[in-house]
Amino acid sequence: MPFLGAIADDFTGATDLATMLVARGFRTEVTVGPPGADGAEDGTGDGTGGGDLSEVDAVVVALKSRTAPVEEAVADSVAALRALRAAGCARFYFKFCSTFDSTPHGNIGPVTDALLDELGERRTVIVPSFPATGRTVYRSRLFVHDDLLDESPMRDHPLTPMRDSHLGRLLAPQTRSPVHAVGHDTVRAGESAVREALAAPGLQDGLIVLDATTDADLRTLAAATSDLPLVTGAAGLALGLSGPQPDAATARARSTGGTHGVILSGSASAATRAQVRHARERLPHRKLDLAALRADFEAAVAALTGFVRESWREDPGSPPLIYAVGEESDVERDTGEGGAEASALVERALARCAAELVGAGARRLLVAGGETSGAVVTALGARTLRLGAPIAPGVSWAVARTHVGGGRQAVDLALKSGNFGGTDMFTTAWDVLS
Ligand SMILES: Nc1ncnc2c1ncn2[C@@H]1O[C@H](COP(=O)(O)OP(=O)(O)O)[C@@H](O)[C@H]1O
Ligand SMILES: O=C(O)[C@@H](O)C(=O)COP(=O)(O)O
Element (H, E) at 286: strand 285-287
Buried b (16+ CB within 10 A) or exposed e, 23-40: bbbbbbbbbbbbbeeeeb
pLDDT at 39: 44
Q: How far does the centroid of ligand 2 lie from the alpha carbon of residue 99, in Å?
A: 8
pLDDT at 198: 98
Closest C-alpha residue for ligand 2 atom 3 = 98
Q: How far does the centroid of ligand 2 lie from the alpha carbon of residue 98, in Å?
A: 7
Cα–Cα distance measured from residue 284 to residue 307, given in angstroms and rounded to the nearest whole number:
9
136 three-class SS:
strand
pLDDT at 178: 98
Ligand positioned closest to the Cα atom of 18? 2
Residues spanned by CATH 3.40.50.10840 within the chain?
4-251
Kindly give the confidence (pLDDT) of every residue in the chain, 434 residues in length, as a single tens digit, with 9 standing for 90 and above. Answer: 889 999 999 999 999 999 999 999 999 999 999 987 654 444 443 443 345 788 899 999 999 999 899 999 999 999 999 999 999 999 999 999 999 999 999 999 999 999 999 999 999 999 999 999 999 999 999 999 999 999 998 888 878 899 999 999 999 999 999 999 999 999 999 999 999 999 999 999 999 999 999 999 999 999 999 999 999 999 999 999 999 999 999 999 999 998 999 999 999 988 999 999 999 999 999 999 999 999 999 999 999 999 999 999 999 999 999 999 999 899 886 555 545 689 999 999 999 999 999 999 999 999 999 989 999 999 999 999 999 999 999 999 999 999 998 889 999 999 999 989 999 999 999 999 96
**Helices and strands per DSSP (H, E), number in the chain:** 14, 18
Ligand positioned closest to the Cα atom of 415? 2
What amino acid is encoded at 25 in this protein? G
Which CATH number is 261-433's, of 3.40.980.20, 3.30.1340.30, 3.90.226.10, 2.40.420.20? 3.40.980.20
- In this prediction, the answer to ipTM > 0.90 reads yes
Mean pLDDT (the chain, rounded):
93
| Backbone φ, ψ for residue 99 (5° rounding) | -105, 20
What amino acid is encoded at 233 in this protein? G
| Backbone φ, ψ for residue 112 (5° rounding) | -60, -45
266 pocket-lining for ligand 1 (C-beta < 6 Å) = yes
Residues spanned by CATH 3.40.980.20 within the chain?
261-433
Rounded to 10°, the helix 370-379/11-23 angle is 90
CB 55: neighbour CB atoms within 10 A? Answer: 14
Residue 342 burial (10 A CB sphere; 0-12, 13-18, 19+): buried
343 pocket-lining for ligand 1 (C-beta < 6 Å) = yes
302 three-class SS:
helix
pLDDT at 336: 54
Question: CA separation (Å) from 88 to 21, 82, 143?
Answer: 18, 10, 36
- Answer whether 0.90 is exceeded by the pTM: yes
Asked if residues 124 and 151 have their Cβ atoms less than 8 Å apart, the reply is: no
Ligand 2 binding residues, C-beta < 6 A? 10, 12-13, 16, 97-99, 234-235, 370, 394, 417-419
| Ligand 1 atom closest to Cα of residue 271 | 22
Q: If one looks up domain 4-251 in CATH, what number appears? A: 3.40.50.10840
Cα–Cα distance measured from residue 414 to residue 425, given in angstroms and rounded to the nearest whole number:
11
Q: How far does the centroid of ligand 2 lie from the alpha carbon of residue 193, in Å?
A: 31
331 pocket-lining for ligand 1 (C-beta < 6 Å) = yes
Ligand positioned closest to the Cα atom of 270? 1
Question: CA separation (Å) from 173 to 99, 124, 151, 176?
Answer: 17, 17, 21, 8
CA neighbor of 49 nearest in space, from 334, 346, 255, 349: 255
Question: CA separation (Å) from 297 to 262, 265, 353?
Answer: 20, 18, 11
Cα–Cα distance measured from residue 197 to residue 224, given in angstroms and rounded to the nearest whole number:
10
pLDDT at 335: 55
